[in-house]
Amino acid sequence: MLFALLLPITLVAACDKVPLLAPTGSVITLIPQATTVPLNSQISIVATVIENGVASGGTGTGTGTGTGTGSSSTSSRSGNGTPVQNGTVVTFTTTLGRIEPSEARTHNGEVTVQLITGGASGTATITAYSGGASAQITNLKIGTAAVKTVTVTSSPQTLGSSGGSVQVIASVTDEGGNQLPGVPVTFATDKGSVSPSTATTDSNGNATATLTTTATAKVTATAGTVTSTAATVNVNPFGLSAFTASPTAAAAGTPINFTVTAASGASISNVRVDFGDGSSQSVGSIVGTQSVQHPYCSPGTYTATANVTDNAGGNGSISTSVVIGALPVTLSASGSPVAGSPMIFLVGGIGAAQVSAYQWTVAGTPAESGTFTTTSPQFPRTFTNRGQKTVRVDVMGVSGCQIGTATTQVDVQ
């Protein structure tokens, strides 16, 4: 009696230890999440197991084998027959990377496992089998093996005459035009340097580096066995061929004519002339020659600089010097220095200086003293009291500064 009771229990325990496999005539279909896999990442792989089924995208045989390919990630799971019994064990192998878990049990005829890649590129063959049924994915490309095209662009595409740095982007795609993340890309250039020389594509399939150059350069990018067509980064020629001053020596207040001459082929967005005395003037974009005038307020030697900005954001400069002397202002009086008689004070020595006003200061009796402004170099004055009178004139330039001064005295009788 006891033996009769123990026998079924023993049989049940033994059956539980024997894995449940797909019955004869079953078909396995493998459906990868994607047809390409980045390095050091993972994708899901779904296996469907159908009794007396037909593998979509593959073939089923009388012995219960079937093959699905990784070339289509949209394979249908439908088929004739019914799902195998829940708990049916499906075993997986791969020639590159690893499958986790390597064995899985079906639920409603389906299991999902993960293909986990490492740092090795290549084409993986993944096999799933249970009982007499099996299926393979034979063209699942990993890492650089999936690369079809590499496209290089730069921003900006043109640098100024002094060169500089631009961002270089290599976009990597597979044969379906899908962007490939996690792919190492090597950059090279015929001029200057690229840093880093190797970069890995981001989630958008872009690898980024920086080109630094002082001359027109070509940049290539290589991913796996695919090399891009070179992208060219242009460096503009220096913007100016000449910067001159005329005259190179003059008195304060005399306008100096500065001429800038654009170089052939230059693309200039602006020229700013710094006159060396704290003032400057922008002349904008030029082609050929352009002149600006500037008078100096005080004696001295000044270095004027033409600062060029080109349309690519580059810049450069060229300088010239001018010598400025004192303005030889004189002040004389005409008329009779007699109380009640009109007199005229006259400014001389102005030459080519540009004058905006003459400021007169008269020192005499309280009624005669004061400050007066004229636009004429002549100042009429009548003194009503006898004694010594002092008259000073300050000559004001067009920029509002004093460019010269003179003083005279008269003794009114």
Domains of the chain, start order: 17-144 (2.60.40.10), 147-235 (2.60.40.10), 240-325 (2.60.40.10), 330-412 (2.60.40.10)
Count of CB atoms situated within 10 Å of the CB of 196: 13
Considering only residues 237 and 325, tell me which one the structure prediction assigns the higher pLDDT: 325
pLDDT of residue 162: 77
CA distance 189 to 114: 40
109 class by beta-carbon count within 10 Å (0-12 exposed, 13-18 middle, 19+ buried): buried
CA distance 32 to 126: 10
Q: How large is the average pLDDT for residues 138-156? A: 92
pLDDT of residue 313: 67
Could you tell me the pTM of the whole model? 0.52
* Weakest-pLDDT range from 68-77, 91-100, 172-181, 217-226: 68-77
Sign of the torsion formed by the C-alpha atoms of 97, 101, 105 and 107: negative
- Band (pLDDT 50/70/90 cuts) for residue 11 is very low
CA distance 27 to 54: 6
62 has a pLDDT exceeding 50: no
What are the C-alpha distances in Å from 209 to residues 99, 155, 165, 302? 34, 11, 10, 44
Q: What are phi and psi of 53, to 5 degrees?
A: -100, 180
Q: Are strands 164-173 and 149-155 parallel, antiparallel or unpaired?
A: antiparallel
175 has a pLDDT exceeding 50: yes
SS3 111: strand
What are the C-alpha distances in Å from 355 to residues 24, 37, 152, 229? 111, 79, 60, 64
Three-point CA angle 313, 315, 316, nearest 5°: 165
% of the chain residues with pLDDT over 90: 67
User: In sequence order, what are the residues at sequence separation of 6 or more whose Cβ sits closer than 8 angstroms to the Cβ of residue 3?
Assistant: none
CA distance 399 to 326: 16
Identity of residue 265 = G
